[in-house]
Chain A
Amino acid sequence: MIENQLHHIKIIIAASLIALLTACHDSNIGGETKEKLNENYANESGGTLISAMTGEPSGLISMIAGESASSAISSNIFNSLLKYNKNLDLEGDLVEGWQISDDQKTITFTLKPNLKWADNQPITSADVLFTWQAVTDEKTASPYASDFQLVKKAETPDPRTFKVTYDQAYAPALDSWAGLQILPKHLLAGQDLHTTAFARNPVGSHYYKLDGWAHGEYLKLSRNPNSVLGQAKIDKLITRIIPDNSAQFLELMADNIDTMGLDPIKYSRIIPARPELQQKLGLYKELGNSYTYMGFNLKHKPFDDVRVRQAINYAIDKQEIIDGVYLGLGINIASPYKPGTRWSNPNLSPYPYNPAKAHELLKQAGFTDTNGDGILERDGKPFAFEIVTNQNKEREKSAVLIQRRLKEVGIDVKIRAIEWASFISRFIKTGDFDVVVLGWGLGLDPDQYNIWHSSQQAPGQFNFIGYHNPKVDKLLEAGRLELNPDKRMKIYHEFAQVLLEDSPIVYLSAGYGLTAIHKRVKGIDNPAPPAGIGHNSQDWYIPTPLRRNEMAAN
């Protein structure tokens, strides 16, 4: 009996030794590979790219989900009518061409010939019409519906032609069609888009099709043989769901994922301090089309008073946030557009850090420290509020810096960081908040009707801070209908100026998108073109000698 046990123990020891040895062996291979990483390789197809995301998509019909996790996956599965090329010019995606009528009110799209869904059914203009009907249907309640509501009439004269007519010439029209993913009518007609099984088992037309979806674990895509744009190089895309950013980073270091988004500390402190990571990871930095802001609930007192909002804007040191939280990887902005683009008004400058001015404005608004406790009061009530944000380290840290600066001018700030889903459902949708720290990711068209127009305040819509300025409403309406780019630019420059003076939000920083991609992935454009690092991901390839053990990856 005892002997038997000893025998077992020996086996266990032997097995663990073998495991140890193989582990060492593996890392040796890894070491050799590192030297191989920078060699030149022939462009070949095959291989698997593994990435990670923190949140799981709620479904893959992005007009319903309206979240970044969903569109990150669905943009590999569905096409739109149009797309942006690497220089951000529009070109055909499903269409081979489009014509705009002389009065600018009608657009005629011509689909490419012989398009097929992944299930071999033909793609026709009826699918496009179906998709437009779905997105504008009130039952769908899509946040993107307002982009298409100005369409007066949509017609399908023949299976390859789709014609839309607007009430008035509509400037963001083409951009809106580049954002709408076309869905297959033959699989979805008559179904409720909110509950259909299609959202978890989609059939699309793009480079990839969904192969498997293990809830809470991964989504697996493989090449779609019917892809309307030809074949992508990489065979399989696996997206693992790893909610914790530091766990993702461990997986990246252990070579179990190929790519992830980085925070500034990982990008500029951790990876540069570790030669072995620098050797195997390519780091990419691009100025994103997004910014972080602190937004006031304009329906709550005292944030309805512009002097209070301006005072807070003066009291916050934006440069300190950019230096301390983003480690310099951010830009102080004064308009809600990507700096350097034509829509960003170069004549505006951000509110400088000026606590004296803040004091003065607060005093004008009736706030004084009557009881000498360092906190301002008005009508006997201390000036105190809560900043709510989601559990995003950069936003939490920004909030802590804001808290300190506002304390210095006599405002007592509390901070609450909560998980994304409950943040949206408890605070944003109910409007039950004082101040939020959040970010906006923007499209390429300057139209920001969804965010700032006073009509967009219903629960689930984007103007949740309750901004209402008739002048801004007018400018936003005009901007949508102005087709002359220079006049349009002037409209949005004026819009940004009014917004800055009104200060409904405090711009904190336009941040850089920071990405790490394993050097086994070749064909990446560096520096990134205007369309971003991922614009040619279908041409990325992984040379056979650099592939990881595909059995393990599966």
Chain B
Amino acid sequence: MQLTRQQSILKKALTNPLALAGFVIIVSVFILAMLAPWIAPYDPNDINVKAILLAPSAQHWMGTDGLGRDVLSRMLHGGQISLLVGLVAVGISTAIGILLGALAGFYRGWVDTLIMRLVDVMLSIPSFFLILAVIAFLTPSIINIMIVIGLTSWMGVTRLVRAEFLSLTEREFVTASRTLGAKDARLIFTHLLPNSLTPIIVSAVLGVAGAVLMESGLSFLGLGVQAPQASWGNILTDGKEYIQFAWWLSLFPGLAILITVLGYNLLGEGLRDALDPRSSSNR
């Protein structure tokens, strides 16, 4: 029963042309990034001081940067970083969000109050500045970036899961299960959680888009991935210096970020439309 529901949702989502487009975009970006070591024409860190800031050409499809490194190769390798950070950060935030949201929604009372006030406190701090502040105390590295983004963006998921749990715990099948003597853990993990999974997936997909942007922003500010490792954000920073002259350094990473974020958003929106009975009945 469960499987067929998921399958039908997926089917519905993928018949939505926008969601399909998003799906195709993300899959292609993933394939390109994963194949980077094989398809990148050059070593991304191969410096050539004799070929600084060359415009795109047959040799360098996306030109070269301020140290003569091939931008296409850096874009492909940088893509791995951007995508990895997006996925892991959202994994962390979703895990925290599910845990706290489940506790709040299931136990209610003071547990709920405590967790939801914590959410309010976290939400009242502008998250980008919170992340900047935390990174300032840590060494900037991919791992820290992933952890910090994850630890500062779980609040939406918490609210979502809590709301789902609040409505689900009133449903007959939960009451029935409880009456039959099911333990809390069993109720949460076998009944409540699987039934709230779909909105969580939608929020996670949309969250990846946010995390990709966040990583790019941090790397752009020099607080993310450190040299010489490439990420779309730090290629963009290098390009900023020469934007009137070396347009290729800003355009390509900018486009990559745009397309990836667009892809995640389209897929997320498509999934939401597919899952939300009201919006589908409108169509």
Residues of A near any B CB (own CB < 8 A): 245-246, 249-250, 253, 263, 265, 269-270, 273-274, 320, 323-325, 327, 391, 393, 396-397, 399-401, 403-404, 414-419, 422
Contact = CB atoms under 8 A, between A and B. Distances in A.
Contacts of A269: 53, 245
Nearest to B241: A246
A447 B222 CA distance: 37
Contacts of B68: 324
A405 to B, nearest CB: 10
B240 A417 contact: no
B66 interface: yes
Interface of B: 45, 47, 49-50, 52-53, 66-68, 136, 139-140, 222, 226-228, 240-245
B156 to A, nearest CB: 31
Nearest to A387: B227
Given A397-B66, A417-B226, 16 more contacts: A265-B52, A265-B241, A265-B242, A270-B242, A324-B68, A325-B49, A325-B67, A393-B66, A400-B67, A400-B228, A401-B67, A404-B47, A404-B228, A415-B228, A417-B227, A419-B222
B47 A414 contact: no
B222 A324 contact: no
Contacts of A270: 242, 244-245
A273 B52 CA distance: 15
Contact of A324 (B49, B139, B140): B49
A400 B227 contact: yes
A117 to B, nearest CB: 43
Contacts of B49: 320, 323-325, 401
A404 B242 contact: no
28 contacts: A246-B241, A249-B244, A265-B52, A265-B66, A265-B241, A269-B53, A270-B242, A270-B244, A270-B245, A273-B245, A323-B49, A323-B50, A324-B67, A325-B67, A393-B66, A393-B241, A397-B67, A399-B227, A400-B228, A401-B47, A403-B228, A404-B45, A404-B47, A414-B226, A415-B227, A416-B140, A416-B226, A417-B227
A269 B66 CA distance: 11
B222 A391 contact: yes
- Of B45, B49, B53, B242, chain A has the most CB atoms within 10 Å of the CB of B49
A401 B52 CA distance: 13
The 8 closest A-B pairs by CB, nearest first: A324-B49, A270-B245, A415-B227, A400-B228, A246-B241, A323-B49, A400-B227, A246-B240
B57 to A, nearest CB: 17
Nearest to B238: A393
Nearest to B68: A324
A416 B244 CA distance: 27
A324 B136 CA distance: 31
Nearest to B51: A324
Nearest to B141: A414
A320 B228 CA distance: 17
Contacts of B245: 265, 269-270, 273
A189 to B, nearest CB: 40
A325 B240 CA distance: 17
- Of A324, A327, A399, A414, chain B has the most CB atoms within 10 Å of the CB of A324
* Chief secondary structure at chain A's binding surface: helix
A330 to B, nearest CB: 13
A306 B245 CA distance: 44
A417 B244 CA distance: 24
Contacts of A422: 136
B148 to A, nearest CB: 17
Nearest to A323: B49
A280 to B, nearest CB: 15
Contacts of B52: 265, 324, 327
A415 B245 CA distance: 27
A265 B53 contact: yes
B269 to A, nearest CB: 32
Nearest to A391: B222
A269 B53 CA distance: 9
B222 A418 contact: yes
Nearest to A405: B47
A399 B241 CA distance: 18
A393 B227 CA distance: 12
Contacts of B228: 400, 403-404, 415
A131 B244 CA distance: 48
B139 A245 contact: no
B47 A245 contact: no
A279 to B, nearest CB: 16
Contacts of B45: 404
A400 B66 CA distance: 11
Contacts of A274: 244
Nearest to A417: B222
B67 A253 contact: no
Contacts of A263: 241
- Of A245, A320, A400, chain B has the most CB atoms within 10 Å of the CB of A400
Contacts of B226: 414-417
A479 to B, nearest CB: 38
Contacts of B227: 396, 399-400, 403, 415, 417
Contacts of A397: 66-67
Nearest to A393: B241
Contacts of B240: 246
A113 to B, nearest CB: 52
A256 B157 CA distance: 48
A404 B136 CA distance: 27
- Of B67, B226, B227, chain A has the most CB atoms within 10 Å of the CB of B227
- Of B226, B240, B245, chain A has the most CB atoms within 10 Å of the CB of B245
Nearest to B45: A404
A277 to B, nearest CB: 9
A301 B210 CA distance: 43
Contacts of A391: 222
A274 B245 CA distance: 9
B85 to A, nearest CB: 18
Given A324-B68, A400-B47, A404-B45, A245 B53 contact: no
A263 B241 CA distance: 10
A415 B225 CA distance: 11
Given A393-B66, A400-B228, A417-B227, A245 B222 contact: no
A270 B52 CA distance: 13
Contacts of B47: 324, 400-401, 404
A74 B96 CA distance: 54
A202 to B, nearest CB: 33
B140 to A, nearest CB: 7
Contacts of A396: 227
Contacts of A265: 52-53, 66, 241-242, 245
A85 to B, nearest CB: 37
B169 to A, nearest CB: 49
- Of A245, A320, A396, A401, chain B has the most CB atoms within 10 Å of the CB of A396
A403 B139 CA distance: 18
A416 B139 CA distance: 9
